[in-house]
A and B are shown apart, each in its own frame.
Chain A
Amino acid sequence: MESIKKQNKLPTIVGLAILLCVMPFLVKIVVGNQYPLLIMCIILIYIMAVTGLDILFGYSGQISLGHAAFFTVGAYTTGLLNIYFGLPLYLTIPAGAILSALLGALLAYPASKLKFHFLSLATVAFGEITYYFLYTSPGGFTRDYKGINVVGISFLGEDYLRWYFFLLAFVVLILIGKISLINSRVGRAFLAIRENTHAADGMGINVRKHKIIAFTVSAFLTGLAGALYVHLIKYISPETSMQKQSVLFLTMLLFGGTASILGTILGVASIEVLMECIRPLQEYQMLLYGILLLVVIVALPGGLNGGIKNLVSNRRRKKAMKELEIAAQAEAEARKDGDE
């Protein structure tokens, strides 16, 4: 039996890289205006945000139904720091991510001892509290329901092509960071906690500490995504912290497949493209989204990534079976010839 060939991933990666770099130019030429590029930029930002959620849920098994709160807090922090104190963006954007991370750590401390259902309720409550706090802030410092208008990044300006590569760099760095985190001791601790918290505890893993780390890193990434988002769109309102957005993030994560790099990318890209496709239907957009969501959940529980993995493994299995059959037949023939 020949040994299983080791998969050579390099050509795939190179091919993907070339595709990613060439795609925006093609899109711009084919479509003519910048709108699809904007969508691609938003996809990149959501990939960052959902990667954060993946670290929390996909790898550590902690459900968060209020993640949009971190996204919005990151956005508001950078916007308000810029508006009120005139701080430059290269300070406010990290500040947004850091404040979001601190909030995550703060939430994680008591939340890390909650079990599944209760944790999800706590995150829902957290998301709602954030929403109402932003909506009717003390002294109106968040400009309440009106939202805030912020400046864009000056050297990127209005050129979404530049934004695309700027964000692509971020996404690549974050994904590399994610891979190294997963392969590190901390990452393995996450997986252990996800599979069986008690066993992990028994193996000497400080469960609480790692849960807090997961929350903090997750909040940092999602907050960073939010901070970049607000400077791309140049506007943020409390609505972005509503449950709808949190559910969208979770949908993207689950649709693509949890605990995987490709899954996050596929999930975000497909859901966002889908949303754009049904956007012209205006009032039926959310209805279709709900129906689609339900259909996908019932029909494809592993997400796209799970579906693809199944497909690939099925084909490989069939190929191996066929080879076995051919080999067995050849042997039978040889034996018959030998007998004669």
Chain B
Amino acid sequence: MFKILLINGLIIGGIYALIALGYSLIYRASGLMTFAQGDMITLGAYLGLTFFRIMHLPFFISFLLTFICAFLVGVLLERGVIRALLDKNVIPIYIVLATIAVSYIIQNSMQAVFGTTTLRFPQVFGVSTLTIFGITAQTEAYACLLISLALMLMLHLFMTKTIFGIAMHGAAMDPMAAESCGINSSLTTGITWGLAAAIASIAGMLLGPMYGVYSTLGSVIGRKGFAGAVIGGYGHIYGAMIGGIILGLIETFVAGYWTGTYKNLIAYAVLILFLFIKPTGIFNEQAIHDV
């Protein structure tokens, strides 16, 4: 029982980690909150489905294409909506509301295009279940865990080893100082949003085979992902990853050992607990853009 819960916790934790990562990335780069991440997941799932099932492209190609398309959507969102609102100097709540509006648009346009029935992802791998360390689970579930860990590792390497990643980090810490060093902070902000969206879309493509694809696939997980970001310290990249995994584990273990009925409530309870007791999270991340 414990081992099954552990694996499931890690799997869903990996997903939460990816979402939380997006939130922290965006907060670090722009100082803003976004409610559209959850629907980037849904978008990713639908895009992946389109490429994989409808256009019959190989899985890996669909993966890359989804990543790229979602990246473009993220950049578009930042340039088109967020930048326009920031230039008008509106109060921050309008930007949050704008991301909510975008979330509605994505959700409902997916619904309009694809309908309301849950679509099935065709089987990705040859074998349907794998048994590792004596735990049997869907192959897609293991792939999900592997890919999310790999993605986090790649992001870490990107942010620390590549020039561009370091530039992004710098621009996020202090845009003015970065600009005076010759870093185009407007470009890096756009890329950060794109990256966050792309990461979320990958999460969606991983969730799709496990849960099926429907228009509200990402919204609940997207909201719960906030808890993961807050646990690790909102704005702390690695904190988000760890916070997400911790959230997944807590959720699965509480649901497994105590009660399954309030499973969804657990994430929000953890969120509110952390907000009231330790809003800076595990890694003591001071909010960069304070009101």
Contacts and interface: CB of A to CB of B under 8 A. Distances in A.
A247 B100 contact: yes
Contacts of A293: 97-98, 100-101, 104
How large, as a class, is the contact surface on chain B? 35 or more
B279 A254 contact: no
A118 B268 contact: no
A304 to B, nearest CB: 14
Interface string B59-86: 0000000000000000000000100110
Interface residues of A, number: 38
A136 B262 contact: yes
Interface in A124-181: 124-126, 128-129, 132-133, 136
A112 to B, nearest CB: 11
B94 to A, nearest CB: 5
A54 to B, nearest CB: 13
B265 A129 contact: yes
A283 B112 CA distance: 7
Nearest to B98: A297
Contact of A122 (B81, B93, B109, B275): B275
Interface string A29-55: 000000000000000000000000000
A294 B94 CA distance: 10
A87 interface: no
Given A125-B268, A290-B104, A117 B94 contact: no
A301 B97 CA distance: 11
A290 B101 contact: yes
B119 to A, nearest CB: 17
Interface string A233-248: 0000000000100010
Given A117-B33, A125-B275, A294 B290 contact: no
B136 to A, nearest CB: 29
A301 B88 contact: yes
Given A114-B279, A254-B93, A128 B223 contact: yes
Contact of B226 (A121, A254, A284, A301): A121
Contact of B112 (A111, A136, A284): A284
B279 A298 contact: no
B287 interface: yes
Contact of A132 (B97, B107, B264): B264
Given A115-B291, A117-B234, A287-B104, A125 B272 contact: yes
A222 B290 CA distance: 29
B102 interface: yes
B271 interface: yes
B261 A136 contact: yes
6 contacts: A63-B93, A117-B234, A120-B33, A120-B96, A287-B104, A294-B98
- Lowest 8 A-B CB distances belong to which pairs? A290-B104, A287-B108, A293-B101, A290-B105, A294-B101, A110-B276, A125-B268, A116-B291
